[in-house]
A and B are shown apart, each in its own frame.
Chain A
Amino acid sequence: MELNELTVTQALDGLKKKTFSAEELVKSCFGKIKKVEEKVKAFITICEEDALKNAKKTDQLIKDDPQIFEQKPLLGMPIALKDLFSTKGIKTTAGSKVLKDYIPVYDATVVKKLKAAGAIIIGKTNLDAWGHGSSGENSDFFVTKNPWNLQKTPGGSSSGSGAAVSAGECLAATATDTCGSVRAPANFCNLVGLKPTYGRVSRFGVIAMASSLDSIGHLAHTVEDSALFLKVTAGKDPLDATTPNIKVEDYSKTLKKPSKKIIIGLPKEYFIKGIDKEMKLAIESSIKLFEKNGFIINTISLPHTQYALATYYIIQPSEVSSNLARFDGIRYGEKRDCFGEEAKRRIILGTYSLSTGYYDAYYLKAMKVRTLISEDFAKAFAKVDILLTPTSPTPAFNLGEKIKDPLKMYLSDIFSASSSLAGLPVLALPCGFTKDNLPIGMQLIAPQFNESLLFQVGHYFQQITTWHKRRPPLV
């Protein structure tokens, strides 16, 4: 096994035991990048020089103080950042031509935290411009491919982060999830994706898509890695007023199987006609596996599920229209004529929902339905501990398949919308493969700020399955 194919946990162990150096680890990632990046096209910016410099520094740090891992829990870990995360001195484009030459003068809070934890940034990954999309095809620069099948989408909007981790170009990557942008790539690329509770991770410095929905997450190979990562990124940030002062647990230490019997709820509205057959089978056998191992399975109802996507597609573009107003080309970036088609479409749609005469019928109505959707979950969580659903209706679809039809593309987010609107934490994880060797995933949904339960159940699943250990055939 190459070093770049290790999980974060394994790589940390290797560094601690001095089996290899940080420099070797980082070089191994760049070796892979050189081999596959031309095909995968995951990165907008690659920071090889700085990363190697940092790797050497890291090795010196480890040499000086072998205990340093206690202060720096991600020391030497080669990670990538979705290009929405502001990085001081490193170009940050949001996947849009509007910011093609924009170099931030400050680091996002999460970037600061990751740097402080010792992580090494190897590059900035491609995405649907501004996070607007489910396939990555809305990037203003180029289209990222799925390492499992280059004809397929890696999922969006965090397409580059998904492809990069999956292809072994880095060990983990940050991503954002407004309505599935972490989960779709996890699902399509055989990764573990965490969309934390809204407010659990600071949004400061992450270019905003829809402020009341944006959740700052990450992609990795295992639940264990995901837990380690969240411990670093989560917490109250004085610069983000929407981060509550709720204690960040030591998620890695609480990964053991939950002591009490966990009741898994299956919302019947998610198990409907139209779900891919192979996907349905894979999820059903995962449910059986849980049941066999002592979990209790209950079917429940989230009656407003069918309204979630419409609600989401009113609220999100409204906030988008306002959030993208700052891009006027005066202080930074290009003029507004550089916005791509999808951004323009959402700005116009959102402007419509907020304008005089339509506000009550659209925006206000959507905010009210949002209340009902949140209440559905509250009622469900009175009966069950955690929910299990498909992540999307199908495995990775073909590039080009939906890009001409925005509504069809929007509908691929259908299983992400409710939990986003309610601000709940969701863990997407691998649970099978199609006969064409495409990954299949499922998602676990927990009550607000109960990420530790997601990790416990997810980790348990990964101990009794091996789907997450498969790597794409791409050389």
Chain B
Amino acid sequence: MISKKTVQHLADLSKLELTYKELNKFQKQLAEILNYFCLLKKVTTSQVLPTSQVTGLENVLAKDEISPSLSSKEALSQTKNQHNNYFKVKAILNGT
């Protein structure tokens, strides 16, 4: 019910590289888990609204006020690749 190709596609979407072994294993395990999810088909939900948050909060907003930022030294403290106060990555073309 879930193909290796699909698992590979999902890995690509989520920027993960899977070994052949992992691919096989995940295919099997995902199939089993997805099969378990079929349980939900038994629940009638046509008249039910979805819940994405449970707090019932609305309009929690911040005033437009400036608060202190990190120094560039702090901002860059955890990267392995930097250049002239910039984060550095391999060349990417402009635009996707």
In the complex, which of the residues A242, A329, A364, A369 contacts B55, with contact meaning CB atoms closer than 8 Å?
A242
Q: Chain A interface: which size bin?
A: 35 or more
Contacts of A313 in B (CB 8 A): 33, 36-37
With an 8 A cutoff between CB atoms, is A311 at the interface?
Answer: yes
A-B contact count (CB 8 A): 135
- Chain B nearest CB from A414 CB (Å) reads 12
Q: How far is A448 from B54 in the complex, measured between Cα atoms in Å? A: 9
Q: Chain B interface: which size bin?
A: 35 or more
User: Is A406 touching B57 in the complex (CB atoms < 8 A)?
Assistant: no
Q: How far is A410 from B37 in the complex, measured between Cα atoms in Å? A: 12
With an 8 A cutoff between CB atoms, is B14 at the interface?
Answer: yes
Task: Scan residues 14-58 of chain B and give those whose CB is less than 8 A from a CB of chain A.
Answer: 14-18, 22, 26, 29-30, 32-34, 36-37, 39-40, 42-43, 45, 48-55, 57
Which residue in chain B gives the minimum CB-CB distance to A372? B48
With an 8 A cutoff between CB atoms, is B85 at the interface?
Answer: no
Contacts of B94 in A (CB 8 A): none
User: Is A310 touching B36 in the complex (CB atoms < 8 A)?
Assistant: yes
With an 8 A cutoff between CB atoms, is B78 at the interface?
Answer: yes
- Interface of A, helix, strand, loop or mixed by DSSP: helix
User: Is A348 touching B40 in the complex (CB atoms < 8 A)?
Assistant: no
Q: How far is A325 from B36 in the complex, measured between Cα atoms in Å? A: 26
In the complex, which of the residues B18, B40, B48, B78 contacts A371, with contact meaning CB atoms closer than 8 Å?
B48
User: Is B62 touching A238 in the complex (CB atoms < 8 A)?
Assistant: yes
Which residue in chain A gives the minimum CB-CB distance to B80? A329
Contacts of B39 in A (CB 8 A): 306-307, 310
Contacts of B11 in A (CB 8 A): 348
Contacts of B70 in A (CB 8 A): 105-106
Which residue in chain B gives the minimum CB-CB distance to A328? B15
Task: Scan residues 219-253 of chain A and give those whose CB is less than 8 A from a CB of chain B.
Answer: 238, 241-242, 244
With an 8 A cutoff between CB atoms, is A339 at the interface?
Answer: yes
- Chain A nearest CB from B40 CB (Å) reads 5
Q: How far is A198 from B10 in the complex, measured between Cα atoms in Å? A: 30
In the complex, which of the residues A198, A199, A242, A344 contacts B16, with contact meaning CB atoms closer than 8 Å?
A344
Which of A103, A106, A331, A348 has the largest count of B CB atoms less than 10 A from its CB?
A: A348
Given known A105-B74, A366-B40, contact A347–B16 (CB-CB < 8 A): yes
User: Is B36 touching A374 in the complex (CB atoms < 8 A)?
Assistant: no
Contacts of A314 in B (CB 8 A): 37, 40
With an 8 A cutoff between CB atoms, is A337 at the interface?
Answer: yes
- Chain B nearest CB from A341 CB (Å) reads 7
CB-CB nearest 3 A-B residue pairs:
A423-B54, A367-B50, A332-B78
